[in-house]
């Protein structure tokens, strides 16, 4: 961060802000300093834009989805490091435990390449790399700031001003992928665990997996991992289903859009796709298929068309839904069955040296970019 710029205290207090700050702290460290910091940040950026878990999470709530969503939607993470940050109330280094929430928060922030500002309390030294798990050792390279108890009000105000200078009014919009996984019947037990394992086995460490009343949502807040969702995730999930017949057959929708500061609009768009009746047509017409997959055109152009991560774009068929393009696939099959042609494409031009041979196309439908970039358009027929 740049050099601090001093302003009269409260110059921007209470104004509307797009900046979102996530406070990462250990509850049994110096909680008074954390609460004071939260109050000053909330006065500057707005209480709804500063996340401190004990203020935002209601007793008895399933806190993890809200925790990770707020972290993914942050502009900057403040890591409050006091004298008991490593050990809490005990003697063992709690950061060496993979399930430690402070560790998981910072690992997630680093995975998303979010700015992290260590805030040292009093005379506490910056933790040494040898005291951190390998996943957090990059933290020692982050520029820290210090809060002095003897002049806490002044140093907190200066810190808030610096954050405002560096990250003020930066909308934390971040593109990413949402997958909605729906069972053909009420979601069976074990579905969320299967999906969670599929994201882990696909190298999608930052993916958020949320159980819902009708299925599972996967929110991948790293836009660069969209192709891995199209290829690795779908492939691993398909393979895993073949070993668990009790989980039934699934409808999966993939959409690419903003997932921060909130993924709600992108989730809603994916849910609409997952509920399309044509996916049931595909499953009925393809007895061996465990998944009927539909991708929005935004996702197709971003993740499927480039052909990375083993994605075969010729296995997708284009459909029209509410006036917009989408793309359907039956993973493991050369093309999705059960779709009805809405119109016949005009014959593609035959370029010099290119033979217009239908035998090069799987099945009896033209799909993907196999011939002259022309595609048949399909719809449900309902």
- pLDDT above 90 coverage of the chain, percent: 62
Mean pLDDT of 273-285: 95
d(CA 354, CA 299): 30
- Is the pLDDT reported for residue 24 higher than 90? yes
The mean-pLDDT minimum among 62-71, 216-225, 322-331 falls in 62-71
Which pLDDT does position 55 carry in this prediction?
83
**Burial status of residue 15 (CB atoms within 10 A of its CB: 0-12, 13-18, 19 or more):** exposed
pLDDT band at 347 (very low <50, low <70, confident <90, very high): very low
Average pLDDT, the chain: 83
Which pLDDT does position 61 carry in this prediction?
67
Which pLDDT does position 60 carry in this prediction?
65
According to DSSP, the β-strands at 215-220 and 208-211 are antiparallel
Q: Which of 340, 341, 317 is nearest to 330 (CA)?
A: 317
pLDDT band at 218 (very low <50, low <70, confident <90, very high): very high
DSSP bridge pairs for 182: 215, 251
Mean pLDDT of 34-40: 93
Residue 48 DSSP class: G
Which pLDDT does position 243 carry in this prediction?
82
Assessment of whether the complete model's pTM goes beyond 0.85: no
Q: What's the pLDDT tens digit per position in 122-169?
A: 999 999 999 999 999 999 999 999 998 888 889 999 999 999 999 887
More confident of the two residues 351 and 237? 237
d(CA 249, CA 295): 17
Which pLDDT does position 16 carry in this prediction?
56
pLDDT band at 43 (very low <50, low <70, confident <90, very high): very high
Q: Tokens 């609409």 label which residue?
A: 272
- Is the pLDDT reported for residue 349 higher than 80? no
| Polymer length of the chain | 382
Q: Which of 347, 339, 326 is nearest to 365 (CA)?
A: 339
- Is the pLDDT reported for residue 261 higher than 90? no
One-letter-per-residue 3-state SS of the chain: CCCCCCCCCCCCCCCCCCCCEEEECCCCCCHHHHHHHHHHHHHHHCHHHEECHHHHCCCCCCHHHHHHHHHHCCCEEEEEECCCCCCCCCCCCHHHCCCCHHHHHHHHHHHCCCCEEEEEECCCCCCCHHHCCHHHHHHHHCCCEEECHHHHHHHHHHHHHHHHHHHCCCCCCEEEEEEEEEECCCCCCCHHHHHHHHHHHCCCCCCEEEECCCEEEEEECCHHHHHHHHHHHHHHHHHHHHCCHHHCCEEEEEEEEEEECCCHHHHHHHHHHHCCCHHHHHHHHCCCCCEEEEEEHHHHHHHHCCCCCCCCHHHCEEEEECCEEEEEECCCCCCCCCCEEEECCCCCCCCCCCCCCHHHCCCCCCCCCCECCECCEEECCC
- Is the pLDDT reported for residue 30 higher than 60? yes
DSSP bridge pairs for 329: 293
Q: What's the pLDDT tens digit per position in 77-127?
A: 999 999 999 998 888 999 999 999 999 999 999 998 999 999 999 999 999
**Burial status of residue 253 (CB atoms within 10 A of its CB: 0-12, 13-18, 19 or more):** buried
Which pLDDT does position 185 carry in this prediction?
67
- Is the pLDDT reported for residue 371 higher than 50? no
pLDDT band at 262 (very low <50, low <70, confident <90, very high): confident
- Is the pLDDT reported for residue 53 higher than 90? no
Which pLDDT does position 172 carry in this prediction?
66
Which pLDDT does position 171 carry in this prediction?
66
- Is the pLDDT reported for residue 252 higher than 80? yes
Q: Report whether the peptide linkage leading into residue 261 is cis, meaning its omega lies within 30 degrees of zero.
A: yes
Cβ distance 282 to 294 under 8 Å? Answer: no
Greatest Cα pair distance in the chain: 82
More confident of the two residues 282 and 186? 282
């Amino acid at each position: 961060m740049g050099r601090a710029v001093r302003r009269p205290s409260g110059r921007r207090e209470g104004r509307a802000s797009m900046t979102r700050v996530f406070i990462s702290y250990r509850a049994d460290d110096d909680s008074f300093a954390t609460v004071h910091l939260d109050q000053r940040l909330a006065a500057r950026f707005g209480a709804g834009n500063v996340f401190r878990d004990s203020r935002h999470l209601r007793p008895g709530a399933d806190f993890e989805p809200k925790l990770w969503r707020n972290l993914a939607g942050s502009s900057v993470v403040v890591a409050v490091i006091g004298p008991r940050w490593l050990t809490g109330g005990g003697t063992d280094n709690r950061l060496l435990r993979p399930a430690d929430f402070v560790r998981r928060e910072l690992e997630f922030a680093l995975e998303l390449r979010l700015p992290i500002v260590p805030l040292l309390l009093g005379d506490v030294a910056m933790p040494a790399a040898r005291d951190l798990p390998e996943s957090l050792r990059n933290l020692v390279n982050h520029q820290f700031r210090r809060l002095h108890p003897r002049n806490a009000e002044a140093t907190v105000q200066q810190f808030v001003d610096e954050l405002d200078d560096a990250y003020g009014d930066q909308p934390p919009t971040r593109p990413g992928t949402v997958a909605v996984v729906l069972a053909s019947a009420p979601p069976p037990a074990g579905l969320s665990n299967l999906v969670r394992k599929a994201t882990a086995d696909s190298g999608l460490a930052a993916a958020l997996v949320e159980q819902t009343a009708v299925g599972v949502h996967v929110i991948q807040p790293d836009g660069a991992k969209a192709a891995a969702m199209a290829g690795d995730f779908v492939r691993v999930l398909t393979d895993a289903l073949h070993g668990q017949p009790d989980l039934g057959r699934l409808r999966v929708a993939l959409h690419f859009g903003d997932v921060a500061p909130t993924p709600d609009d992108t989730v809603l768009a994916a849910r609409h796709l997952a509920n399309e009746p044509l996916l049931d047509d595909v499953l009925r017409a393809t007895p061996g298929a465990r998944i009927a997959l539909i991708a929005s055109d935004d996702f197709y152009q971003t993740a499927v068309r480039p052909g990375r991560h083993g994605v075969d774009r010729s296995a997708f068929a284009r459909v029209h839904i509410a006036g917009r393009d989408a793309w359907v696939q039956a993973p493991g099959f050369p093309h999705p069955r059960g779709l009805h042609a809405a119109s016949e494409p005009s014959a593609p031009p035959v370029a010099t040296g290119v033979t217009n041979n239908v035998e090069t196309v799987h099945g009896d439908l033209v799909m993907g970019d196999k011939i002259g970039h022309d595609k048949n358009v399909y719809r449900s027929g309902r």
